[in-house]
Structure 1
């Protein structure tokens, strides 16, 4: 029996698979989460020793793929978002399919502008394997993180020297409102995290932010530092790694601020 045709076929398949993996002009150390999601093992195991060496942290696969594009380039992760959330809000214009009537706020109290008025993108570049800095640094006004929904995360201030209390009545049921540019969260976003350990997003220093509970114990962590961070396993990492939590401290009697602390890593600008 002549095996030459089978040998040639095997070589052709191997070549085709190799070209497909490399892509047209691509490189092996560049991974797009939207392309890799269908072929990546769906388990949530992640070996932190491999991070930064060509394996994208599995937490990034939780980000909404319609609004957020995540690309691993060497040891860096580039996150680009439309700034639009994937859930309902009264801040969508009245004709939008995700528009709902206000509940915890009112049309009279809402900030001006609609979610769909924003046209643009936000981009954040962080280390795929971030480390803590020698000293913490204060967050500033504007976006300090990108949420899994596609919208951005703000701190606990409304403006220069203006406490969030002054604008609390304008926040929707996700603790978010518009202005000065796009829709953004200040408080626990109950559309995708309501007193649980769900992933909220990534902060500008590259560390992930989770809900009020710790996945490793199923309860509220008691060892958080001043930024709401600690080191433990998560649903996306079998090896302990540093990450933040929404701190289980009531704000205005019934809300929880997303990130009232300082960066524990070296933050990059979100542009």
Structure 2
């Protein structure tokens, strides 16, 4: 009898009657439905465009509606790995994981090769060379999920490899040492590929130059650059989905769209951010990773 008078009381008091519904015939408590928002990527933030109304929190939904990019683990296109230099990089698939093993030896010319190498050329961009040459007993192994997800918070990159380029050489960030951002003196040691040699071997810092010697590396285009340690692919400054520089990138140069590798399916990936760092140089990746980083050993 008590339960049956609530709709009448709601009308008399001017309250929204839809809020007062019984959860079950045996439940004396009232059910007040609220709006829940889908949290596809599990970061605790919900998608304002996908909702459910329920008395209790449904699985996969949260009360927050502030997620600007609720991407939930779209698989990395397998065809992207066809772009990697097979002479340097071995790619293996094992269930929910992808492992890349590289010897770090790029498949393009550079003055950092030994002069006896068929890939050696005289410097065309570098004004000075760092000590050491390409070669030696190098190895880089990275294991990432086949469907990487955006993390609840971003992660700053550190010194050393933060990704593996399609050539097989590692990608570094915009620092040259502890609290040492790239400077003009360091930039003078980069070859046309945007790389130089260091204690950890030959590695890239910046986008390749637009010179005749550059026949395969990305320069202001949509080519695949490589894969970052959080499992997300990184492409050149332009996006295949529009043929131009994307305008909807997040702070790390990432967005969700299709690429030349995904057969029309949208997935999250990075781009080189179209901003100059030093003069005409553009850093490959000088921002935070938006996924969970994995070690490159």
Which TM-score band (shorter chain)?
0.7 to 0.9
Higher CA-based Rg:
2
SS in 2 for 1:200: strand
SS in 2 for 1:250: coil
Task: Tell me how far 1:189 sits from its aligned partner.
Answer: 2.8
Q: Which residue of 2 aligns with 1:121?
A: 139
1:153 aligns with 2:171: yes
Bigger relative contact order, structure 1 or 2 (CA pairs below 8 A, ≥6 apart): 1
1:91 aligns with 2:91: no
SS in 2 for 1:133: strand
TM-score by length of 1: 0.77
Query: Matches of residues 51-200 of structure 1 in structure 2 within 5 Å?
Result: 51=75, 57-106=78-127, 109-116=128-135, 118-165=136-183, 166-190=185-209, 191=214, 192-200=217-225
TM-score by length of 2: 0.71
SS in 2 for 1:59: helix
Deviates more, 1:163-172 or 1:79-88: 163-172
Q: Which has the larger helix fraction?
A: 1
Q: Distance in 2 between matches of 1:167 and 1:250?
A: 16
Task: Tell me how far 1:103 sits from its aligned partner.
Answer: 1.6
* Count of aligned residue pairs for this structure pair: 218
Which ranges in structure 1 are unaligned for 5 or more consecutive residues?
1-47
Match of 2:276 among 239, 250, 254: 250
Q: Distance in 2 between matches of 1:153 and 1:201?
A: 8
Q: Distance in 1 between matches of 2:196 and 2:138?
A: 17
The structure 1 segments of at least 4 consecutive aligned residues displaced by more than 4 Å after TM superposition are none
Q: Deviations over 1:111-170 (max 9, x none)?
A: 100002x31210000001111001000000000000001111000000101111141111
Which ranges in structure 2 are unaligned for 5 or more consecutive residues?
1-71
Q: Distance in 2 between matches of 1:73 and 1:51?
A: 13
Q: Deviations over 1:37-84 (max 9, x none)?
A: xxxxxxxxxxx99848xxx72111111111100000011000000011
